[in-house]
A and B are shown apart, each in its own frame.
Chain A
């Protein structure tokens, strides 16, 4: 038994905030997704990083009472405009409640939370690969890549061309945008692999970033291992606290020669692509 306890050097600084933000707009962007724009203080927005999320306290609406908060990745943060953006698909009680928010309504948010994407110094050519709403999580990464002067290819996949999102946004940030859709028969994994191998052959793939698709993760892991290309993935998991206290949101990861359980809210939501385990 130790005689006395060594004290750590510093107390952690405050990094996340619980506060009500007012709704600037909450409109459909296509048949499936809606864009929620909140007015946010500058000091919160300047702390945000691509890949982080907020934990949203959904209001009561339509006779439903969502109890736990809902994690939502940041779609955009703009300190200069004082805006925080979320792109979401209405799928359950929480997102139905979010869809009911109108101009001027208040939404209690907690954040920013979680570990963000990182861009290593020698990753000059970035490849973003995502499907559906996974693109929302990668959108702020494109902004950061543009700011750092990195070259960017965004491979955007969806069921139908109408459901492709953020392609104009990626293009406006100087990205080469490649669209693949089920309707056009171009989104199958064989074709995706050919597209990515083409980028590698052209020397345009130093790192991969992905989100949201099991099949894409497996493919990128295979290609990454074949060519020694690193990558990162943003993962989702049901959460309760969003801060790391409850250990609800653990997922298994391969680390070294063993499997470890990590909290998506705390050690993630962004993880090393090669350590992630397909679900």
Chain B
């Protein structure tokens, strides 16, 4: 029997597989038992009602996906009244993803969603900061630190900071989030991207640009997860392009303590169950009794040239 449980700064998960925000909802309960998952992560909510972006909101590109959904939200009141009671049926911890236009608005919402039934708050600091001309909070270390300080003061619940790949300062942003009070890092959100229909010469998304997700994103997000795990001492939750058990294992070896599965759930709604079972089988076959024995075991020292040569030989 393999122990799949992991600990995210005091929050114990029965396994390290959970959905990524925006790719999960109560609707999935009509396809499988949601209590199989390590955690439930809601779609990002905002304080007030948001309609979201114009359609088309999605297009596919080379075996991956672009989206510009635009965080449609029914607001914090509807969330507390209807969504939290739904998840209270389940033993699996509920993580609520939140977003705000300004640091103060973000902090107020953080306080408002700190209700019984919520186990942790994932702060989507990858969204545009209106006070910074639309630049995402997590693009720069200083704005990351400032918003995390305000969020930290607003709640006693564990705070997971979801970082953006649209930065050139991954390690610095990760450290800023930790110093600002993050209990864990979710690495990462989607990459700002674009696709154009060559016949109409129009962008394929109604919002012109959107976020790239799916297998194309994996090597980039994996690299970031590795960097963040090395740069900080808080748990990293890998997120980006996971669709096979090998992907999960790579993230864990890179240093992630858990992973979030996003776009792959659109292709196979039950894929998270397959990943949980597949991970258990793989660990068992490897003779490992706990998933914790795999986390951060990447061998990143100098390559043994002889081994590389021998393995490359036909």
Binding site for B on A (CB under 8 A): 1-8, 11-18, 57, 65-69, 108, 110, 237-251, 261, 266
B72 touches A67 (CB 8 A): no
A247 touches B52 (CB 8 A): yes
B88 touches A7 (CB 8 A): yes
Contact status of A68 and B65, CB under 8 A, knowing A12-B29, A17-B31: yes
- Indicate if B48 sits at the interface (CB-CB under 8 A): no
Residues of chain A contacted by B269 (CB below 8 angstroms): 16, 18, 110, 241, 243
B52 touches A5 (CB 8 A): no
A250 touches B52 (CB 8 A): yes
Contact status of A244 and B27, CB under 8 A, knowing A65-B63, A67-B267, A238-B55: yes
**Stretch of B18-26, B142-150, B288-296 with 4 or more beta carbons under 8 angstroms from chain A:** B18-26
Residues of chain A contacted by B84 (CB below 8 angstroms): 5
A14 touches B30 (CB 8 A): yes
B266 touches A16 (CB 8 A): no
A244 touches B25 (CB 8 A): yes
A5–B115 Cα distance when bound, in Å, is: 8
- Indicate if B56 sits at the interface (CB-CB under 8 A): yes
B26-43 at interface with A (beta carbon < 8 Å): 26-33, 43
A121–B154 Cα distance when bound, in Å, is: 54
With A2-B80, A12-B30, A108-B268 already in contact, 11 other A-B pairs whose C-beta atoms are closer than 8 Å: A1-B115, A5-B115, A11-B29, A15-B30, A16-B31, A18-B269, A67-B214, A68-B266, A245-B24, A246-B69, A247-B43
B52 touches A246 (CB 8 A): no
- 1/0 contact string of B255-293 vs chain A (CB within 8 Å): 000000000011111100000000000000000000000
- 1/0 contact string of B1-28 vs chain A (CB within 8 Å): 0000000000000000000001111111
Contact of A14 among B31, B61, B117 (CB under 8 A): B31
B28 touches A243 (CB 8 A): yes
Main secondary structure of the interface of A (DSSP, over half): loop
Q: Tell me, rounded to whole Å, the shortest Cβ–Cβ distance linking A243 to chain B.
A: 5
B116 touches A3 (CB 8 A): yes
Interface size on B, residues (CB 8 A): 47
Residue of A nearest to B30 (CB): A15
Q: Tell me, rounded to whole Å, the shortest Cβ–Cβ distance linking A8 to chain B.
A: 5
A1–B27 Cα distance when bound, in Å, is: 26
Residues of chain B contacted by A251 (CB below 8 angstroms): 55
Residue of A nearest to B215 (CB): A67
A14 touches B32 (CB 8 A): yes
Residues of chain B contacted by A69 (CB below 8 angstroms): 266-267
B27 touches A266 (CB 8 A): yes
Contact of A5 among B27, B33, B88, B267 (CB under 8 A): B88
Contact status of A67 and B65, CB under 8 A, knowing A1-B114, A18-B268: yes
Contact status of A261 and B52, CB under 8 A, knowing A13-B30, A67-B60, A69-B266: yes
A248 touches B69 (CB 8 A): yes
Residue of A nearest to B69 (CB): A247
A18 touches B25 (CB 8 A): no
Complex A-B: 16 CB contacts under 8 Å: A1-B114, A8-B88, A16-B269, A18-B268, A69-B267, A110-B31, A238-B57, A243-B30, A243-B269, A244-B27, A245-B24, A245-B28, A247-B52, A247-B57, A247-B72, A248-B67
